[in-house]
Amino acid sequence: MKQKYTNKHAKKPKSFLTIVYETYKDFAENTSIHGLKYTVKPDIGTPERIFWALIFFGGLISAIYMTFLFWERYVSNPTRATIKTYYAPTSSIPFPAVSICNVNTILETKLQVFIDSL
């Protein structure tokens, strides 16, 4: 008679939902997204967890909806640009006016008086 080998200490494989919950819990505990850590915090009650989950998912849904609205507005208003080119020799382009501004605040006459007084 053949005996089946069974390992009594082998861990039972985790279900998909357990893996998803553990991943979510680890992310929520360590994220800086406001309100998400309160959905898994052990020292608060179930009503508070539900409240924070509703607040978080309400904000997420609102952000997605507004993104969709702005995307629709962007797509429905195309941007048009018209570029006109002008080819001409450099000699036909007028040279711009050049003005030289005196930023020197010293009057030459007063400077001469000062130098003479030394």
Model confidence, pTM: 0.51
Q: For residue 20, what pLDDT band results from cuts at 50, 70 and 90?
A: very high
State the pLDDT at residue 107.
83
Every domain of the chain and the residues it spans: 13-79
* 38, 44 contact by CB (below 8 A): yes
What pLDDT, in 10s, does the model give residues 102-115?
Answer: 777 788 888 899 99
Q: Check residues 106 and 64 and name the one with the higher pLDDT.
A: 64
State the pLDDT at residue 100.
84
State the pLDDT at residue 25.
92
State the pLDDT at residue 19.
92
Burial of 39 (0-12, 13-18, 19+ CB in 10 A): buried
Count of beta carbons in the 10 Å neighbourhood of residue 48? 13
* 27, 37 contact by CB (below 8 A): no
**What average pLDDT does range 88-96 have in this prediction?**
83
Average pLDDT over all residues of the chain: 87
**What average pLDDT does range 81-99 have in this prediction?**
84
